Amino acid sequence: MRKTKKTWVDNFPDLTASLVACVIGLLVGFLVLVVTNPENSIKGFKALLTGAVSGGFTDFGNVIVYAGIYILCGLSVGFAGKTGVFNIGLSGQFIIGGVAALYVGIMWTWLPPGIHCLVAVIAGLLAGLGWSSTIGFLRAFFNISEIVVGILLNYIGVYLANMIILDKFYDSYANRSQAVQSSALIPTLGMEKIFPGTGADITFFVAILLAIVIHVILNKTTFGYEIRTCGFNKDAGIYSGINAKKNVILSMAIAGALPGLAGAMFYLSSSHNYIQIVDSAPAIPMRGIVVSLVAMGSPIGIILSAIFIAYITVSGLDMQLYGYVPEIVDVVTSVIIYCTAFVILIKKAISTILRKSHDLNEG
Amino acid sequence: MDIVYFIVQQLMFFMVPLLVVALAGMFSERSGVFNIALDGTMIVGAFCGTLFLNLTQDSWSGQYQLLVALLIAGISGILFMLLHAFASVTLNASQIISGIALTFIAPALAIYLARVIFGVQRIFFTNAFLIRKIPILGDIPVIGKLFFTNTYLHIWIGYLILLVSYVVLYKTKFGLRIRACGENPYAADSVGIDVKKMRYYGVLISGFLAGMGGLIFIVPTTIQFSGSVASYGFLAIAVLVFGQWKPFKILIASFLFALAKTIASSYTSIPALVALGWSPYIYKMLPYVFTIVMLVLTSKNPQAPKAAGKPYISGGE
Amino acid sequence: MEYAVELLNIKKQFPGVLANDHITLKIKKGETHALLGENGAGKSTLMSILFGLYSSDEGTIKINGKEVKITNPNDANALGIGMVHQHFKLVHNFTVLENIILGVESTKNKLLDMASARAKVMDLSKRYGLDIDPDKIISEITVGMQQRVEILKMLYRANDILIFDEPTSVLLPQEVDELIKIIKGLAAEGKTILFISHKLEEIKRVADVCTVLRRGKVIGTVDVATTTKEQMAEMMVGRKVLLQVDKGDGYKGEKRPVLEVKDLCVEDKESGKLRVDHATFTIHAGEIVSLAGVDNNGQKQLVEAITGIIPSNGEIYLCGENVTERNIRYRNTHGLSHIPEDRQRHGLVMEFTVSENSILQEYFNDEFQKSGFIKRAVVDQYADELIEEYDIRAGRGGETTAGSLSGGNQQKLILARELERDHELVIAVQPTRGLDVGATEFVQKQLITQRNAGKAVFLVSLELEEVMSLSDRILVIHDGKIVVSDLLPSKIDMMELGMYMAGSKGVDKNA
């Protein structure tokens, strides 16, 4: 058997394809800048790449905040993806989790300080879990597209959340919910001093912890084994006697708990401890999709891609100060998603190109 | 009675975009390609259409301007859908990821470009297209007031599209072949039909209709486009499913949905409902909850094109 | 006399198998020419080349004396060649008429002209005695009528050379009679007919001439009227020196029944045909029982019913316990081991490593997990043991992905997993398919070891040599029925076996 030299691509095919997708996304973003703002395009692109670094501690804090949410939402999409289900219901799960946490945080003041926070967080987690289980149930038993139901539930979620706020704890002056009691706020471990005004707290670290937990569940438990088996090869799952319907519902439940948790923790932080009444679903959680696709669903990869996406998100916001339009970040991330659609083809193409050049060199 | 007229007119405004975009989805899925890029295509169409209207509003107006705008919207939809067609048909990549990607690219580009051009996220246009009364037809008692007053040209274009779609799908060679590609591409291939080409047609037609649908959605309801079509593209998919992928059933499904939405948005004019004292959000949720119920009810006997969503690899089975 | 079709020196190689070994076949115009052969004989491949689905590596094709190139079905169609495939290529929710005209639709003013098409179709239908209802939906008509639609497709396109690929495999007995009448009618009209089959009875009824293929080569061409079924069967299976497999001492213990199947029936959902027709047999401890038969006669459905993958009527007893209503996991954990036919689809998860695949049937046992956590070290060690004992060549040991193993090693992995866990019955379906000589020998040795140790082995194989050399007892399945269940390899020869397989001998021959 001829020994072919192992290239970088052979060892890390997924990572390489992800990097290629990201690079293409950034390049397209640059192209858009060039077309729409030619004189400033290079400066703008540089701002996109380096904005967050030059923003000091505030930016660093913001990156941590965003990364935390992105990790949790990315894990959600990634985990559901392992079973073969696409969780697009992130916004709905996020806001429902948020409103549940707010409910506990504002109304249940009879709880002692530490417990108050814990219960609020758990409430958010369970609310998100319940919300996504509906999707899982409808998909498992009625074979209804989880994407259509997910989007519908995003809207229903926002309206339901607003309805609850208006009914229970409305602040009519500012058109938003009342503020969460301080006894329920997420502990910050002093981060508000280092990163003032950003709302940085332990969410990021909890997210990393959960990424590790999800990684363990997927790769080291029998449950994770069943999930991965059915996700990769439904027939082998049947052959082994695995109950696919049960798995779909359970994994969607877990997938919804994560954005629910993210929503809960987001609104339980001092810089944004209220929900504004708007009629649109929050867009931030939806970035979880690109985070997960770039990392190909791998929990550890999600941590890295979340930080990357958070980084360019913050850079994008910074760009506003210099007159650039921050939505360029959305353009970049959505193009990256498009590229991940044929990531397998990218992988094959790269390894063929590299192998050909190797053969030429050795030939 | 005036309330009834008003409600029916409003209903048309909600129904027709849904109808047109659901038909767009029908062409794509009937040829065998899942299409969750409909919403994004609507946004692209709406963006290009309203941009055109905005740029020409000082020099041009009237129904012809609207017609051209609709055409531009449709063509931009085709170009945008090419991305989906390329990924799904030529590369046999994941149709879901491609669709989701386009769902995000569209608003990102639309908002970005709007802000670059206008400084704000909105494109304003003058809406001078309302047809107060169609001559002769508008004078018919009752029906005239219901359908032929306070209407728009594109509402009728929408109905025309429905009829044309029906004829094309069921009465032409093209329609027969496209349907074959969506049900059993291997059978189609065995009689010499180029499945990939047919699927391109299906997807690009859906691009044209969805692009137009975007503009049709915007014009009657508002005077500005701000990067969103309220997820109509996804509601259209639900309508498509409930309509069992058949043109006239889709009409009924979009009617029912539009009815729910109209009641939701104009309940303040119905004293009986106001008296109930429900939160306005219940009404906002109504159409969406209704849609989920619709989906559950139709899940028992799905008439989905059998080969939809499966990548077609020629030669094998 | 001009030949309608000449296939000259056709060679077609697939990876590992020479499907057509320089085949030369000449078919006269107006002749009904049968192609007889077992699975893997090469007949379907040859016809697929004629119809343009495959292209040959070497050789030429002549139609009506002129050399032609056929690269796709359109070319074949243009030359007047049509094919009725074994798996129909019909659109299930179109009408009969729509299916017939698809691809050659006639139009009037840009719209479909169904009226003239209908007239033409009904005319053809009457002329050839092909009874159909043009407005019925395909999914609602019988399989017999569906087949007539496929035939009408050919006639509508004015095909003169008609290929039928195993046309009776999907038909009920009375529909077979119908079909034979139709084919005779077509022949009377001067059509040239190619009829692929493994059923001697039908070939006798329908064909003028029969060419027998075996292992990619033409064995001979005979005049059907003057050749006996026995002679044709002998040509089909051939006489061979059997590879001697050392069967050891055999099992000396108690021969208690391990698998009992009583009146097992599996109904095909769409056609209502019984794919498994009241199968009844018993397999005891310490014996290898083979199920012989030509492909697609119900073997797949029988195995899936026993393993629990599909529902069935009748009774199944595993080690004395009635498991008919039990699910797959119950059967797998109460004595059943299964080596599936399609190793990549059912037997392994290609993306998993060897280690992960090794516990596919046992990951939930206390041996491999505790409180839901997989005992990685134990699993890895187990995998290493399997690799060692079964000589699985895996470049990175237990960490190798299953997808990167060779076919033979993948099979060894499945074997290792299934044979090393607790079981009383092993169902092995086509266990040596696609394997080289060494791997084949290994697998066969393993099955014998199982039998000597007192396990029951149910071997489903299309390889007659394997069946004859390994079995203690042979069952033959034909058209879903067990036509015989007590053949002893020492007492019969290949020819007789071939006769049973072709439905010419055994239970209910005259039913």
- Find the DSSP H helices in A268-327: 287-294, 299-319
Q: Give the domain-ending residue among C216, C237, C258.
A: C237
Which of the two residues, C188 and A195, has the higher pLDDT score? C188
- Please check the confidence at residue A72 and state whether its pLDDT lies above 90: yes
pLDDT of residue A2: 39
Give the nearest partner residue to C92 out of B171, B190, B306, using CB atoms. Answer: B306
Q: How far is C307 from chain A (nearest CA, A)?
A: 9
C104 and B172 within 8 Å at the Cβ level: the answer is no
C329 in A contact zone (CB under 8 Å)? yes
A223, A228, A241 ranked by CB distance to C328: nearest: A241
Which range marks the domain in which residue C37 is found?
Answer: 3-237
Contact B112 A325 (CB under 8 A): yes
Same structural domain, C201 and C314: no
Coil vs helix vs strand at C36: strand
Strands C209-214 and C32-36 turn out to be parallel
* B241 inside 8 A of chain A by CB: yes
Structure token pair of residue A300:
């550890």
Q: What is the pLDDT of residue A4?
A: 45
Task: Sketch out chain A's domains with CATH numbers.
Answer: 61-306 (1.10.3470)
Q: How far is C109 from chain B (nearest CA, A)?
A: 10
Mean pLDDT, range C265-271, rounded to an integer: 83
User: What is the maximum span of chain B, computed from C-alpha positions, in angstroms?
Assistant: 65
Read off the pLDDT of each residue in C168-187 and give the average, rounded to a whole number: 82
* Number of compact structural domains in chain C: 3
In this predicted structure, the answer to whether residue C151 has a pLDDT above a threshold of 70 is: yes
> Which CATH number is C275's domain given?
3.40.50.300
The residue among A331, A304, A283 whose CA lies nearest residue A44 is A331
Whether C387 shows a pLDDT value over 80: the answer reads: yes
Mutate to test the interface with A, among C328, C360, C370, C380 (most CBs of A within 10 A): C360
Q: Are residues C435 and C417 in the same domain?
A: no
Name residues whose C-beta falls within 8 Å of residue B44's C-beta, 6 or more positions apart in sequence: B76, B77, B80, B106, B109, B110, B211, B214
One domain for residues C91 and C185 = yes
Query: Are the beta carbons of C379 and C355 closer than 8 angstroms?
Result: yes
Phi-psi region of A197 (alpha: psi -120 to 50; beta: other; left: phi over 0): left
Q: Decide if C360 and A236 are in contact by the 8 Å CB cutoff.
A: yes
In the numeric block, which tokens belong to residue B32? 């065998």
Q: Which DSSP string corresponds to C125-156?
A: HHHHT----TTSBGGGS-HHHHHHHHHHHHHH
pLDDT exceeds 50 at position C328? yes
Mutation for C interface: A223, A225, A234, most C CBs within 10 A:
A225
Domain ranges within chain B, ordered by starting residue: 2-298
**Closest C-alpha to A268, from A147, A124, A73, A137:** A124
Its CATH class, for the domain covering B2-298, is: mainly alpha
Return the higher-pLDDT residue of B309 and C211. Answer: C211
Confidence of residue A91 (pLDDT cuts 50, 70, 90): very high
- For residues A319 and A48, give the distance between their C-alpha atoms in angstroms, rounded to a whole number: 7
User: In angstroms, what is the C-alpha Rg of chain B?
Assistant: 20
Nearest to A32 by CA among A287, A333, A332: A332
Q: Which residue has the tokens 């290529």?
A: C89
Question: Last residue of some domain: C421, C440, C461?
Answer: C421
- Position C412 pLDDT exceeds 60: yes
With contacts defined as CB-CB under 8 Å, which chain A residues touch C343?
none
Question: What are C474's strand-pairing partners?
Answer: C290, C487
How close does chain A come to B105, measured CA to CA in Å? Answer: 5
C471 and C379 within one domain: no
Q: Are strands C3-14 and C58-63 parallel, antiparallel or unpaired?
A: antiparallel
Angle at alpha carbon of residue A229, lines to C378 and A147, rounded to 5°: 145
On whether any CB of chain C is under 8 Å from the CB of B290, the answer is: no
**Per-residue pLDDT averaged across A285-289, rounded?**
92
Check CB contact of B179 with chain C, cutoff 8 Å.
Answer: yes
Residue A245 has pLDDT above 50, yes or no: yes
Reported for C141-144, long-range contacts at CB under 8 A and 24+ positions apart, including other chains, are: C141/C96, C142/C175, C142/C271, C143/C170, C143/C171, C143/C172, C143/C175, C143/C270, C143/C271, C143/C273, C144/C171, C144/C172, C144/C175, C144/C178, C144/C179
Given this model, what pLDDT does residue A352 score? 64
Verify that C406 and C434 share a domain, yes or no.
no
Q: What percent of chain C has pLDDT over 90?
A: 46
Q: Which residues from A are below 8 Å from C352, CB to CB?
A: 228-229, 232
Q: Do the Cβ atoms of A159 and A278 come closer than 8 Å?
A: no
Let me know whether C179 and C297 are in one domain: no
Q: Are residues C264 and C407 in the same domain?
A: no
Predicted confidence (pLDDT) at residue C241 exceeds the cutoff of 50: no
CA–CA gap between residue C416 and residue B225 (Å, rounded)? 65
- List, for residues A331-341, the tens digit of each pLDDT value: 888 888 888 88
Categorize the per-residue pLDDT at B145 as very low, low, confident or very high, splitting at 50, 70 and 90: low
Give which of A152, A170, A317 to mutate to test B binding, by max B Cβ within 10 Å: A152
The interface residues of chain A toward chain B in range 59-118, judged by CB-CB distance below 8 A, are 86, 88
Which residue reads 């449950």 in tokens? A223
Q: Which of B188, B192, B303 sits opposite C77 (nearest CB)?
A: B192
- Cβ contacts from A onto C, under 8 A: 63
ipTM of the assembly?
0.84
Tell me the H-state helices in C471-511: 494-501
Residue B309's nearest CA partner among B205, B226, B255, B237 is B237
pLDDT, tens digit, 9 for 90 and up, residues B95-110: 888 898 999 899 888 8
Do residue C392 and residue C486 come from a single domain?
no
- pLDDT given for residue C458 in this prediction: 96
Query: Which candidate in B30, B166, B170, B173 is best for mutational testing of the C interface (most C CBs within 10 A)?
Result: B173
pLDDT classification of B316: cutoffs 50, 70, 90: very low
Same domain (yes/no): C91, C18: yes
Contact check, Cβ <8 Å, B190/C73: yes
Q: Would you call B192 and C74 a contact, using CB atoms and an 8 Å cutoff? A: yes
Among residues C402, C421, C440, the one where a domain terminates is C421
pLDDT reading at C262 higher than 70? yes
DSSP state of B87: I
Reduced to 3 states (helix: H, G, I; strand: E, B; else coil), residue B315 is coil
Note the pLDDT tens digit of each residue in B167-197.
999 999 999 999 999 999 988 888 888 899 9
Q: What is the Cβ-side half-sphere exposure of residue B110, based on CA atoms within 13 angstroms?
A: 30
Q: Which of A225, A233, A241 is nearest residue C332 as measured by Cβ atoms?
A: A241
Residue A90, min C-alpha distance to chain B (Å): 14
Which is higher by pLDDT, C102 or C254?
A: C102
Confidence class of residue A1 from pLDDT cuts 50, 70 and 90? very low
Q: What is the CA radius of gyration of chain A?
A: 22
Give dist(CA A191, CA C37) in Å, integer. Answer: 80
Closest CA to C375 of A211, A225, B172, A200: A225
Write the CA distances from A93 to A183, A331, C427, integer angstroms: 24, 24, 47
Q: Which of C333, C283, C300, C302 is nearest to C457 (CA)?
A: C283
Residue C237 CA to residue C198 CA, distance in Å, equals 11
Q: Give the per-residue pLDDT at C98.
A: 94
Q: According to the model, what pLDDT value does residue B180 have?
A: 94
Helices (H), B32-142: 38-56, 63-85, 95-118
Q: How many Å apart are CA C69 and CA C80, to the nearest integer?
A: 13
- The whole-angstrom distance between A271's CA and the closest CA on chain B is 26
pTM reported for the whole predicted model: 0.82
| Interface list for C 268-327 with A (CB within 8 A) | 307-309, 327
Q: How confident is the model at residue B267 (pLDDT cuts 50, 70, 90)?
A: confident
Q: Which of C308, C349, C374 sits opposite A221 (nearest CB)?
A: C374
Distance CA C431, CA B44 (A): 56
- Are residue C31 and residue C161 in the same domain, yes or no? yes
From chain A, pick out residues whose CB is under 8 angstroms from the CB of B112: 32, 36, 325, 327-328, 330-331
User: Does the beta-carbon distance from C91 to B171 stay under 8 Å?
Assistant: no
A319-335 mean pLDDT: 81
- What pLDDT is attached to residue B76? 95
What is the spatial distance between Cα B132 and Cα B118, in angstroms, rounded to a whole number?
31
- pLDDT above 70 as % of chain A: 90
Residues in B touching A290 (Cβ below 8 Å)? 104
pLDDT band at B252 (very low <50, low <70, confident <90, very high): very high
Cα separation, B236 vs B227, whole angstroms: 18
| B57 vs C232: CA distance, rounded Å | 86
pLDDT tops 80 at residue B50:
yes
Query: Is some CB atom of chain B closer than 8 A to the CB atom of A152?
Result: yes
Q: CA-based Rg of chain C, rounded to a whole angstrom?
A: 25
Q: What's the confidence (pLDDT) of residue C509? A: 44
> Are B246 and B162 a contacting pair, CB within 8 Å?
no
Give every strand in the sheet of C274-284, ordered side by side.
Answer: C274-284, C257-267, C313-318, C321-322
Query: Does C376 lie at the interface with A, CB-CB under 8 angstroms?
Result: yes
